[in-house]
Amino acid sequence: MEVQNILSDLIKIPSVNPPGGELEVAKYLKALFDAAGIQNEIIESSPGRGNFIAYLGEGERRLLYLSHTDVVPATEDWDFEPFSGEIKDGLVHGRGALDCKGLVAAEAYAMLYLARNSKLEGRLTFAATADEEVGGTYGVKYLIENFGEKILADFAINEGGGEPVRLNGELAYFIQIGEKGSAWARLLAKGRACHGSVPTLGDNAVAKMAKAVTHLAEYKGEIRLIPEMKALFGAIFGLKGQDLELTEGNIDPLIRRFEDRSFVEYLRATTRMTISPNIIQGGVKTNIVPDRCQAEIDIRVLPGQDEGYVIDKLSKIVGEDIEIDIPNYSAPSFSDSESPYYKLIENTLKEAVGDVACLPCISSGATDSRFLRRRNMPSYGLSLMAKDFDPSLIGTMHGKNERIDIESLRTNSKFLIELARSYLGGSR
């Protein structure tokens, strides 16, 4: 079975989270792996929330292929049916093609290929897990807490980087070595209800919150240059042969020099705390002045910006009248870019696509890698795309018309196969 057909089948299973329903994906993978004689199991963290794990080879060295099987909803107007999985014009179409069923398919294809063609001298574990898009509680977090020995390995390869970027005329690939943390905040404005015909008798909670949310949306975080980003900037500008002293003061003018808008915004987001007010709810009826309004805020933090820091910033912005709660905080996490695992990934990447620049990067978002890193397991993000990958496709991730080119799926499969062979050894 070709990798694009596996992906097409996976997309047809609408494992939208919430509610998830990843068990159906796990069952599909089980049938595929059973037929190939690969040892595997489904671990249900809660009814319908299936995690699929498979194992190849035996030995001291251990490598984990990690991916997730849930997808975000397809809410906008798509130009094609989001769960068709249609293969057309060299592309596989549908929700999850890039995030992250393309990686599930490439890792599954690599497992099937290695089972047929190699005898590994170490252990390769494949984990396609649930619930990444809503925090990992029923996926990697659950597995680590309850079945750690099944997935812990010397290092993991997961989603996160891998698309080629053209920097000053040269092709470069990003390998994700870390990610920002997240602090999801809930704000509550309280007021006093009254009849909407005499609004001045009440205290309008929606109006209060609207003001607070406007201020939050205008927030400009102070620049913080962490060593990982400093190294990345050094490498980026090094490509150009420039010798620059990077400081918090000159980084923004330098960032603005890049033409690629999404790259500019990525660099901005990884050099400061960001605040995005994304949900607001208040009011019950047109003729009642609302006494409550709630807002949910997505905040992404850098090292040193803990819950106390976030609450302090928020209260300065929204004022004392609004209650602040942070029900969900997750610290930034990092893996070593000097480790032999990183070097191996870099070398294997170059074997797969040719001699390109490889840059360790940090992600503005979060992946399940953070749970592994908390257990001191190095985890690297790389969904390797082909050299002529169309960068505009990145915007379809969590957006509309998500799709991936078959060439990238093949490139990634090849990379994954070689990575396992190089690290785990074994005959061909």
# of chain residues touching Zn ion (CB under 5 A): 3
Single-letter residue type at 302: L
Angle, alpha carbons 233-234-237 (nearest 5°): 80
Which residue stretch of 97-105, 192-200, 302-310, 312-320 sits at the interface with Zn ion (rule: CB under 5 A)?
97-105
Q: How far is the CB of 213 from Zn ion (least distance, A)?
A: 27
CB atoms within 10 A of CB 276: 12
| Residues in contact with 166: Cβ distance below 8 Å, sequence separation at least 6, in sequence order | 172, 260
The DSSP line for 138-183 is TTHHHHHHHHHHHH--SEEEESS---EEEETTEEEEEEEEEE-EEE
Q: How far is the CB of 165 from Zn ion (least distance, A)?
A: 19
Alpha-carbon span 222 to 270, nearest angstrom: 11
Which residue in the block uniquely carries the two structure tokens 């001298």? 121
| Nearest partner of 106 among 406, 392, 427, judged by Cα | 406
Residue nearest to Zn ion (CB): 100
Helix (H) / strand (E) element for 187: namely strand 181-190
- Sign of the Cα pseudo-torsion (147, 151, 154, 160, in order): negative
Of 99 and 179, the one with the shorter C-beta distance to Zn ion is 99
Q: How far is the CB of 99 from Zn ion (least distance, A)?
A: 4
Return left, alpha or beta for 314; rule: phi > 0 is left, psi -120 to 50 is alpha, else beta. alpha
**Phi, psi (rounded to 5 degrees) for 325:** -135, 140
Pick one of 10, 13, 92, 100: the residue that binds Zn ion (CB under 5 A). Answer: 100
Collapse the DSSP code of 260 into the 3-class scheme (helix H, G, I; strand E, B; otherwise coil) and give the result: coil
Strand partners, 189: 293, 322
Of 72 and 352, the one with the shorter C-beta distance to Zn ion is 72
User: So which residues are the catalytic ones?
Assistant: 70, 132
Of 100 and 295, the one with the shorter C-beta distance to Zn ion is 100
Work out the angle between the directed axes of helices 406-424 and 340-353 (0-180°, nearest 10). 140
Of 100 and 124, the one with the shorter C-beta distance to Zn ion is 100
Which residue stretch of 92-100, 206-214, 269-277, 301-309 sits at the interface with Zn ion (rule: CB under 5 A)?
92-100
Q: How far is the CB of 132 from Zn ion (least distance, A)?
A: 5
Token digits of residue 84: 């068709």
Q: How far is the CB of 365 from Zn ion (least distance, A)?
A: 8
Alpha-carbon span 233 to 230, nearest angstrom: 5
Of 68 and 268, the one with the shorter C-beta distance to Zn ion is 68
Given a contact cutoff of 8 angstroms between Cβ atoms, the answer to whether 85 and 2 are in contact is no
Binding track over 141-160 against Zn ion, x by CB under 5 A: ------------------x-
Q: How far is the CB of 67 from Zn ion (least distance, A)?
A: 8
Q: How far is the CB of 71 from Zn ion (least distance, A)?
A: 8
Does 99 bind Zn ion (CB under 5 A)? Our answer is yes
Of 131 and 159, the one with the shorter C-beta distance to Zn ion is 159
| CA gyration radius, the chain | 23
Q: Site residues for Zn ion, window 171-190 (CB under 5 A)?
A: none
Of 139 and 191, the one with the shorter C-beta distance to Zn ion is 139
Which residue stretch of 53-61, 95-103, 290-298, 318-326 sits at the interface with Zn ion (rule: CB under 5 A)?
95-103
Q: Which chain residues interact with Zn ion by CB under 5 A?
A: 99-100, 159
